Amino acid sequence: MIRFTEDQKKRLKELNMTDYQISEIEKKVLIASRFHIRELPTLTDVRDEFDKLERVLKDTQNTLSKLLRADEDKSAKGEVHERIISADFEMKGDGELIEKTLFSLVPITVAVRMARKKLPTEQRRTNQASPFPVQLINEVINWNIESKLTIRPSSSSSSRFFKIVVICYEAINEKNQDPSRAVKAYISILKKQS
């Protein structure tokens, strides 16, 4: 869990944030925001990771299939097969560990292929100006507060709202983040909704 430093908490309290609001932001906003605005790896790197995983799964399936067929073989594979089955029985298994393991690889293999196919074909942009974290911050700081006490969203660097967002972004600690762009994007959405 991401937490505010003591200095950040002090600064938030100076902006009239309650301990409850600070705690709620730590629990509900910071980790979700970090995940959402983190710098994304290149699609090539992601595809490479999928390729590695698919190769390992395929190699594992091939090795287990060969091992399964070596059950009466007098070769080294046959002995490996027999020793695995013996160990399975010692672990209170039913002697079908190789088969069960082989079949259990099918769903993960299918899931990996499906996930890889869903990758975008074009490079993605980072979420540096995403309004999502600012929306979460706004929801937490203005939840269940009388309307006269609400903190209005503002992109002015001197506003309480903007200062709170900046402190939250400091706590999130993702490099290359510009909270002012995110606040402006959020306010733009609010204007379109009204």
As separate numbers, helices (DSSP H) first and strands (DSSP E) second, the chain gives 9, 0
Predicted TM-score (pTM) above 0.75: no
pLDDT for 124 = 64
Percentage of the chain beyond pLDDT 90 is: 50
Q: How far apart are CA 169 and CA 165, in angstroms?
A: 6
Per DSSP, the residues of 128-189 read TT-SHHHHHHHHHHTTT--GGG-------TTSHHHHHHHHHHHHHT-TT--HHHHHHHHHHH
Q: What is the dihedral of CA 11, 13, 15, 21, to 10 degrees?
A: 120
Average pLDDT, integer, range 49-63? 96
Task: Quick: pLDDT tens for 64-108.
Answer: 999 988 867 778 888 898 999 999 999 999 999 999 999 999 999
Q: How far apart are CA 77 and CA 68, in angstroms?
A: 9
Beta-carbon neighbour count of residue 166 at 10 Å?
Answer: 14
Higher pLDDT pick, 140 / 71: 140
Q: Which residues contact 15 (CB under 8 A, 6 or more apart)?
A: 160, 163, 164
Confidence band of 122 (pLDDT split at 50, 70, 90): confident
pLDDT for 144 = 60
pLDDT for 35 = 72
Mean pLDDT of the chain: 87
